[in-house]
Structure formats: C-alpha cells, structure tokens
Structure 1
Amino acid sequence: MTRLRQIVDRERATALKARESWHMFTIMAEFIESTERLSDARPAVSIFGSARITPLDPFYEACVDTAQRLSDAGFAIISGGGPGIMEAANKGGFAGKSPSIGLNIELPREQSNNAWQNISLSFRHFFARKVAFVKYADAYVVFPGGFGTLDEMTEVLTLIQTGKSRHIPVILVGSSFWRGLLDWFEAKLVGKGMIAAKDMDLIQLIDEPANIVDAIFAFYEARDIEPSEEERQKMLYL
C-alpha cells in the first residue's frame, strides 16, 4: 500500500491531497443535508432489521403494524430506506399520520430504495448515516437482522452506556430470535465483567406491536421527550 508520505511525485501527491480534501466536503454535505431535513421531524423512532426478510415473513407484518401504530401516535418513522424490515417500517409509517423517512445507502447489492418514503435522503458514508439514525431518534426498535442490524443495536447501546448519547428506549422485537443473544450477554458479558449488570436494563424485549408503543410512552412518562439543553450539547459530539 502506497502511503502519502512515500509518494515522490509532487504532482501526484498534490492531486491525492486535493482528492481527499474534496472528499471531506462530500461528508460534510451529508451531515448538513440530514440536519436540515430531519431537525423538525420529531419525535421519531428508528426501526432496524434485515433487508432479506420478505413480505411473507411474520416479522414483516409485525413491523408494518408497529410502524403504523407509532406513526398514528405521533412518531416519525426512520428506517434505512431499503427492502425487508426497512420497507415494512416505511410502509407502516407511510400509512400512518406522521412522516416516513428513509436514510438510503449506496451498496453494491441488497439496497434498493423502497417506495414508502415521505422524506428520502441518500448517503454514501455509513458513519454519517449512523449519526442520523441516533441523533434524531427518541427510541430504537430492532427487529431480527444480520450484521448491519447488530451493528446499529450495539452502536446505540454503547453510546448510551458511555454517556455519549441520551438514554432512549432500545426495544428488541422477537423473543425467539433475540433470547439466545441476551442469555449470552448475561452469561459472558455480565458474567465476565465486560459490562455491568445494570447495562442489561438498557434493553427491552417485546413481541407485540401494541406493547412496543406502550413501552415507549411509559419510558417518557417520567421525562421530557424533547432533549434537554445538556443532552443537545452531548449529541453534538456523537
């Protein structure tokens, strides 16, 4: 691998530096656009899950139901904008009373934008997209999924645990799917002292769409759903 300091050709080095500098502006543009488009879309719930789940899967229907209930209750729905659970989330949100938002990502395969989006943003950079998922969400609802879903789930748990983000509900949907992982968390992560026992309280495991909505409302009974000034400042450094 050629490193910038090893490049002897001054013109080539200058061109590479210019390209990298310009790349920074494309990253900034994604943050600016997401801020302008999403700042007023609150309260909101980010919903995650596999792109490979089909409309025939019970989790797809459960996600549509959950998203529409949340949308009718006043929550904008934020998803990844693609197929599978993302499509189900946007479809349910679109059918409800609040905006359905898709944070689309350019991928070599799997990702194709679904048609159920009132607000549609396109990202080339995963990290800019991940910030948008966390920054504008008042709850995380996580359906069964693969590496991407696990990444999003552990990302928000880490941010809450370390105090880099405000505390919001993180709800896993599907006891049959998640129970084994949570048992492993208890046995290995808590058991070996990798996390504190109280960190498990950051996660709720709920199956029924109506109960998911109730759990989010219950969480905010004792606190304001609007971020405090201290929380707003904290979110600047995600």
Structure 2
Amino acid sequence: MRILMVEDEKVLAETVRRGLVHEGFVVEVAHDGVSGLSAATENAYDVILLDLMLPLKNGYDVLRELRQRKVWTPVLMLTAKDGEYDQTDAFDLGADDYLTKPFSFLVLVARIRALIRRGAPERPVVLTVGDLTLDPVDRSVRRGGTLISVTAREYGLLQYLMRRHDQIVSKAEILDNVWDSAFDGGDNVVEVYIGYLRRKIDAPFGLNSLVTVRGMGYLLGAGRIPERAVERPPVT
C-alpha cells in the first residue's frame, strides 16, 4: 500500500512517515505543492495525504489540478485549519476526508485504511440543480451549455443556495454562511445579491428558479417556472 504525503513541516512529515512505514505502508514525501502535484500525477498511490498550507502551491490548488487531470486517488487533507468553510471547500474540490492537526496517529491510520478499502471510483464534484451547474474545480457556472459570469460573492451565494436547493433559507442563514463573520452591514445586502443572481441565472433564460418566500427567505428550485407562467396579482 503506497502513500504520498505532501507536508512542508519536515519534522512532522518524518514522524508520520516512520509511523506509517512501521504499519506496513510504503511512504513517499514531498515538501511543497509543486513537487507533490508532480509526484501525484506521475505515480500511482493508494492514498494522498495533503497539507493545506504549502509553499509554491497550496493544497487547494494541488487538489483542484489533480481532479482536473482526472487523478482520482483518495485524498485526505491534513491541516491546522479547522474552519467550516475550509472543510467545505476541500470536499467540494474532491477531497475524500479531512483531519485537523494535531491529530491522533491511530485515527490517521484508521482513516487511511478506510479510504483504501473504499477505493477511488470516478465521481463528479459538480453541483447540479435542474440544468444549472456549478463546478468547484474551475469555479464555473452554467445554465445548460451557457457559461454564466459571476463575481466571487455571487459564486459563494449560489454555491450555498445550490447545496440547500429546494429548501427555504433565511437571510440570517445566508449571512452566516456566505458573508464574513466581521461583516457589520444590514441584511438588505442579501436582497441585493439575490437580485444580481436572478438577473444572471434566470432572467436571460426566461426562468424563475430563485424565488422569494415572503417572510421566510429564499428558495432555489430545480423546477424552473417560465416567467410568462408566473401568476401576478391584477393591477388595481
């Protein structure tokens, strides 16, 4: 069982390497993202242990490029960053597991063995709601075959809505999950960005997939209603 460990903390890397060798694994080590990516694409491994904060190329970029090149070797992220967004981004890019430093060596070995048992089937990482797709690998958004240009904030909002598709999400939930915790503006910013998204993902296609649920929040649905079919109250 062959493992690639991409870790710039050399003392930690050597300690883990020795432990894994004692457990019967064959372990190769790279200390930066560029050499790690090269090794991962040129050689076959059963599991890749990938640090997030690496010199030359960070772990996110290494993982993104691996999946773009259709290298489906199971990847276990090893990182000191334990934020919810860090884990979510890693999984969206195609990570298979996530372990926060400091970690138990026994837990690491158990996670590695679980990944090896699971194998490396090809799997899509694209989020899909109807014919609306969001690909975290190249951060692209498409409606059918049409590429839609979005800003970073619009992308983050759409990604959250697509993960919660067919569910009503409140302004407070959106602020908590899309905006930085230091944001001190009003929640009307959510309405503004919902409007931006509608003009990009719905209006050009004559659709109404992102709707407001009065008094509750917003809902992104796969059942796309043509604008001409939406009932409007009579003008009085």
Using structure 2 for the length normalisation, give the TM-score.
Answer: 0.39
Higher strand share: 2
Higher relative contact order (CA 8 A, sep 6+): 1
| TM-score, with structure 1 as normaliser | 0.38
